[in-house]
Structure 1
């Protein structure tokens, strides 16, 4: 038997590949299925089942493409109602892969169809659980995504999740390995550990959610400090439940080069948003006016989802040459399938054509300390918890994920400094501000981390972020 965790850092997502004898199973595959097909071919095994723990909200699964390419059936837990052919398993149903077995444990709460899969090895020993978003390391899945107005509240779902954990997970042996669907950085939980694999016994001892004295306490603690989910989550659920276009077709359409002389007219004709995927340091030195910068070398896909939101919005890409396919693939992971093409030759081709460009006023942290006065206005676009942990005295906290709201309140007559933790998010904010005609600001290279290293400006007292929810 072989169990492989296939972890994708930008989504903080874990898919699982299980092999026994000449058969395999895959749990919660990502959108691009080529890596799985290559593993199957290398191991000379047949994919027997594709297991889905639930209808994912933060990414688009590869279940449909994988099933079409291999013929393997898709399996969901009880109560799931996909709009395509699938096996809807019963609670405690057993599926065999070679000499091992997968037992279905229905664990509703995160969503009503949420299911944990229990792996039983060749000797009949229960060895691992694939918990999806039911149980994370250090946390549990947020219970606010499957609310239904007038019928099911987040409190109801949290209570259901408590019962699932108490009756299906807690009775299992401490030696069982926990394989969750997500790790730290995912918006599906609020307190996840950086590790991606652990023993259940350790989680029983250290996971705050598993150490509540009663259901009421569990509901209170799990819901406390839970921020609003990203707005694109519902659209991803719809794609996972209802189906989507083949990634092959999405890639063929997106990998269309558009010459610099045609690019602007094509954007206006189609209403496409121009998405610049270069790193912040390059973007600030020159970019196409009104383009939005979300760098590929960062949490690219989640930020696209959180800020652009509408997965059907047409996109045109600016990318470093050779990275176009990666950008389209990563966009597809969160359902943004409407890439119409990319700028042939990249930004340099645009610049060489003599077309209009723009810049962001970026300064070093040292220069910031020289320009800073007690009257300076500073906007910190980090998360609330990061700001609460430590920040520049008197800085305003305006998190990036809410910029569509606070951009309307900015007075462009008053200059301000802009920063995040390291420069990635503040450049996203800078590009959005520019697209709204707001230009009277200065962005700080290296963000708060670099500012703090100067040791010059006063900051608030540090508070450990794990205590700031």
Structure 2
């Protein structure tokens, strides 16, 4: 028996590949199929099942393409109603894979169809559970993503989750391995551990939601308290997973089109496209296409695309480093942005060489900003999340979270000069690029963000407000 976790850090997402005696299973695959096909080919195995723990909200699963390419059966738990051929498993149904078995445990709560898969080894011993978004390390899945107005509330779902954990998961042996669907950084939970797997016994001891003496009412209150608004693309991805989508091969073919400067400009205007610059933020700041938006590929690219671009069908053109074009189209498709229509051939250098207009982003170091700030009368935008700002921030800084920049744009003025910072410098460049594209020309990025600022003279308590209790 082989069990492999395939972890994708930029989405904090875990997929799984299981093989026994020439038969394989893939659990919660990402959009692209190559990682799973390559593993099966190396093992001389046939993928028999694609198991889905639920209709994912934070990424588009590769279940349809993978099933089409391998003949595998897509499996969901009870109550799922996908718009395509799939096996809707019964609660406690057992799936045979080589010399091992996988038992279906219906664990509603995160969503109503949420299912945990219990892997039993060749001897029939409970070995591991693949919990999807039902149980994380240090947390449980949020119960507010599948609420239906007038039908079911987040409190209802939290109650179902309490029952699922107590009746289906916690009775299992302590030495059972927990393989969750996500780790720290995902918006699907609140307090997830940085670890990507662990033992159930440890979770019973340390996970706040698994306390033995916890009442149902206490559980419901704790898991529904402190939930932040989910990213806008979540329900759209869940619908794609349920209803179906275009093949990733077609999406890539359309997106990886090299366009000359002239063709790029024509597509930009004719298709009303959005131009995303995916280079590193330091490179972007030194020169970029006016009106383009920075979202760098070497960070949480897909998450920020999903948070900021409200239309999944938005035509997208992009600027990138050479050789990374297919990666960019794939990572867009992972969160449902299937309408990339090409990239600038030769990159930004070709734009400059053609004599086209170029813009730059004014920047300042934390050390140089310190005396500017202490003189007072500075418009400082802290684009970190509300929870980061609440924990510690500079006195006088205005919390202007990047997540909701489109909604809050009317709170600032085009006639003022704004200094912008985040935690380390990535998000602030995104924010600054959006502001400049919207006509806010007097924007200055603070290099290194709050991390750098807290190491300057501003560390003195009269400038930094620390809040230890929220």
CA contact (8 A) 1:31 1:61 kept: yes
In 2, distance between residues paired with 1:371 and 1:350?
A: 35
Q: Distance in 2 between matches of 1:6 and 1:168?
A: 25
- Are 2:309 and 1:308 equivalent residues in the alignment? yes
Shift of 1:416: 2.2
C-alpha contact (below 8 Å) 1:369/1:457 kept by paired residues? no
SS in 1 for 2:209: helix
SS at match of 2:394: coil
- Cα deviation, residue 460, structure 1: 3.3
Residue aligned with 2:75, SS: strand
Q: Could you say what secondary structure the match of 1:252 adopts?
A: helix
1:261 touches 1:353 (CA, 8 Å); kept in 2? Answer: no
Give the CA deviation at 1:35: 1.2
Give the equivalent residue in structure 2 for 1:9. 9
Do 1:392 and 1:457's aligned partners in 2 also have CA atoms closer than 8 Å? no
- Give the secondary structure class of the aligned counterpart of 2:416: coil
Q: What does residue 287 of structure 1 align with?
A: 288
Deviations 1:25-55 (A, max 9, x none): 1100111111111111111111111100000
Q: TM-score, normalised by structure 2?
A: 0.97
Q: Aligned partners of 1:256, 1:166: CA distance in 2, in Å?
A: 52
2:353 matched residue in structure 1? 352
Aligned position for 1:375: 377
Correspondence 1:238-317 to 2 at 5 A: 238-317=239-318
Alignment of 1:452-467 (within 5 A): 452-458=454-460, 459-460=463-464, 462=466
The 5 A counterparts of 1:82-231 are 82-211=82-211, 213-231=214-232
Match of 1:426 in 2: 428
Shift, 1:240, TM fit? 0.6
Q: How does 1:316-465 map to 2 (within 5 A)?
A: 316-372=317-373, 373-458=375-460, 459-460=463-464, 462=466
- Gap runs ≥5 in structure 2: none
Q: Secondary structure at the match of 2:313?
A: coil
Tell me, yes or no, if the aligned pair for 2:273 and 2:315 is still in contact at 8 Å.
yes
Cα distance in 2 for partners of 1:288, 1:408 equals 24
TM norm structure 1: 0.97
Check the 8 A contact 1:382/1:399 in 2, yes or no: yes
Q: Partners in 1 of 2:67 and 2:89 — Cα distance?
A: 17
Tell me the CA shift for residue 383 of structure 1.
1.0
Q: Deviations over 1:405-454 (max 9, x none)?
A: 11111112222210000110000000110111012221101100111122
Are the equivalent residues in 1 in contact too, given 2:370–2:457 (CA < 8 A)? no
Displacement of 1:457 in angstroms is 4.7
Unaligned ranges ≥5, structure 1: none
**Structure-1 separation of matches of 2:256 and 2:150:** 45
Whether contact under 8 Å (1:134, 1:161) holds in the other structure is: yes
Superposed CA offset, 1:218-243 (max 9, x none): 11110111001100011101111111
- 1:377, distance to aligned residue in structure 2 (A): 2.1
Q: Distance in 2 between matches of 1:95 and 1:337?
A: 34
Structure 1 CA distance for aligned equivalents of residues 107 and 64 of structure 2: 23
**Local SS of the residue matching 2:117:** strand
What is the CA distance between 1:455 and its match in structure 2?
3.6
Native 8 Å contact 1:381 1:419 kept in 2: yes
Separation (CA, whole Å) in 1 of partners of 2:75 and 2:263: 46
Indicate the SS of the match to 1:453.
Answer: coil
Q: Which moved more, 1:403-412 or 1:137-146?
A: 403-412
Q: Distance in 2 between matches of 1:217 and 1:455?
A: 44
Could you give the per-residue CA deviations for residues 34-91 of structure 1, whole angstroms, max 9, x where no partner exists? 1111111111111111100000000000101110110010000000000000000000
Measure, in 1, the Cα distance between the counterparts of 2:410 and 2:353: 35
Distance 1:172 1:394 in 2: 52
Size of the alignment, in residue pairs? 466
How many Å apart are 1:310 and its aligned residue? 1.6
* Local SS of the residue matching 1:284: helix
Range 430-439 or range 446-455, more displaced: 446-455
Root-mean-square deviation over aligned CA pairs: 1.2
Structure 1 residue 461 displacement after superposition: 5.0
Structure 2 Cα separation of the partners of residues 4 and 262 of structure 1: 44
The 8 Å contact of residues 436 and 443 in structure 2, kept in 1 or not, is answered as: no
